[in-house]
Amino acid sequence: MSLWEKATAELLDIIEWIDDSNDTLVWRFPRFDNEIKQGSQLIVRQSQVALFVDRGTIADVFTPGQYRLTTGNLPLLSTIMGWPYGFHSPFKAEVYFINTRQFTNLRWGTKNPLILRDPEFGAIRLRAFGTFVVRVADPKKLVEQIVGTDGHFTLEGITEQLRNLIVSRFADAIGESGLALLDLAAQYAELSVLLMNNIASEFYEYGLEITKLLIENISLPPEVEEALDKKSSMEIIGNLDKFVKFQSAQAIEMAAKNPGGSASAGVGLGMGFAMANQLGTTMNRTLNDPLDNHVPPPLPESGTPVAYYIGAQGTRKGPYNLQTIITFIAGGAITAETLLWKQGMVAWQKADTFNELRALLQATPPPLP
Reported as a single tens digit per residue, the pLDDT across 1-13 is: 455 445 444 545 7
Residues 108 and 217 in one domain: yes
Helix 156-177 vs helix 188-204: angle between axes, to the nearest 10 degrees? 130
337 domain-assigned: yes
Whether 132 and 207 share a structural domain: yes
Does residue 234 sit within a domain?
no
Asked whether residue 368 is domain-assigned, the answer is no
The residues, ordered by sequence, that sit 6+ positions from 222 with a Cβ below 8 Å of its Cβ are none
Q: Is the pTM of this model over 0.85?
A: no
Domain-embedded: residue 15: yes
Domain boundary among 99, 127, 156: 99
Mean pLDDT of 103-118: 88
The sign of the CA dihedral 170, 171, 177, 178 is positive
- Whether the per-residue pLDDT at 87 is higher than 60: the answer is no
Residue 369 belongs to some domain of the structure: no
Instruction: State how far the Cα of 90 lies from the Cα of 92, in Å rounded to an integer.
Output: 7
Are 170 and 193 found together in one domain?
A: yes
**Which stretch of 100-114, 171-185, 266-280 has the lowest confidence by average pLDDT?**
266-280
pLDDT band at 295 (very low <50, low <70, confident <90, very high): low
* Closest to 165 measured CA to CA, from 112, 125, 201: 201
Cα 259 to Cα 192: distance, rounded to the nearest angstrom: 62
Whether residue 234 is predicted with pLDDT greater than 90 in this model: the reply is: no
Residues 208 and 278 in one domain: no
**Cα–Cα distance for residue pair 107/112, rounded to 1 Å:** 16
Q: Are 253 and 356 contained in the same domain?
A: yes
- Together in a domain, 124 and 217: yes
Last residue of one domain, picked from the residues 200, 225, 250: 225
Residue 272 lies in a domain: yes
For residues 23 and 63, membership in a common domain is answered with yes
Number of domains in the chain: 3
Is 215 inside a domain boundary?
Answer: yes
**What pLDDT does 340 receive?**
92
* CB-based contacts of 236, cutoff 8 Å, min separation 6: none
What is the separation of C-alpha 126 from the centre of its chain, rounded to a whole number of angstroms? 10
CA atoms within 13 A on the CB side of 160: 3
pLDDT band at 16 (very low <50, low <70, confident <90, very high): very high
Average pLDDT over residues 73-98: 66
Q: Which domain holds residue 355?
A: 239-290+304-363
Q: Answer yes or no: do 114 and 88 share one domain.
A: no
pLDDT grade for 263, boundaries at 50, 70 and 90: very low
In a shared domain, residues 51 and 148: no
Nearest to 48 by CA among 81, 12, 83, 15: 15
Domain containing residue 174: CATH number: 3.30.479.30
Compare 278 and 344 and report the one with higher pLDDT. Answer: 344
Judged against a pLDDT cut of 70, whether residue 277 lies above it is answered with: no
Q: Residue 155, Cα to own-chain centre: how many angstroms?
A: 28
Q: At what angle do helices 322-331 and 262-288 cross, to 10 degrees?
A: 130
Q: Say if residue 68 is in the same domain as residue 161.
A: no
3-state secondary structure of 249: helix
Which DSSP letter does residue 255 get? H
Beta pairing partners, 98: 26, 49
Of 35 and 356, more confident: 356
Which of 64, 99, 134 lies at the terminal end of a domain, its last residue?
99
Same structural domain, 249 and 356: yes
**In-domain check, residue 299:** no
Indicate if 41 and 81 belong to the same structural domain.
Answer: yes
Please, how many CA atoms are within 13 Å of residue 229, restricted to the half-sphere of its CB?
A: 7
Residue 177 CB burial class (10 angstroms; 0-12, 13-18, ≥19): middle
Are 310 and 340 in contact, with CB atoms under 8 Å apart? Answer: yes
* Identity of the residue numbered 79: T
